[in-house]
Amino acid sequence: MLLINEVKEGWSMGFLFGRKKKEKKHEVISISGTQLCDLLTKAVSLATEDVEAKCYSTGPEIMFEYNGNVHFMGIKYDKKRAKTEKRITFSNELMTVYIDKQSFSTVEELRMQATIDGEFLSNISAGIIVAPEYNELL
């Protein structure tokens, strides 16, 4: 039996007549509840720009993990009502922010009242896991 013992960057020890590619480790960052709300605030500004450009996008949804459970937060903008009322500028009264199935009218309200796995978001000082791409926005 011939085993290939040569190891190249990105590859593990070879098996018979071949190599097995190493699994890439997914990098993540740990943030607080306040930092998570800061990300949502930036998403609100993106949604505002989209509405002003008549795109009526709802902004990005943020996926994160806490205590081994996956959660989602984001922005909902009442596009139908905005179009019906012919609003061409962003209106806070047409926007809600959400985390899982909890909806709030402002990010600050979400920060103070939202709960994740039984803990208030404002009390979480670390342990919220997000993708490293969000680090640029913090």
Q: What is the pLDDT of residue 7?
A: 43
CA distance 8 to 19: 10
Across residues 86-94, what is the average pLDDT? 82
Q: How far apart are CA 90 and CA 50, in angstroms?
A: 9
Cβ distance 98 to 73 under 8 Å? yes
Contact 114, 103 (CB under 8 A): no
The pLDDT-based confidence of 53 (bands split at 50, 70, 90) is: confident
| Pairing mode of beta strands 115-116, 69-77 | unpaired
**Pick the residue with more confidence: 48 or 72?**
72
pLDDT exceeds 60 at position 116? yes
| The predicted structure's pLDDT at residue 15 | 45
Across the strands, what pairs with 21?
A: 11
Residue 5 has pLDDT above 80, yes or no: no
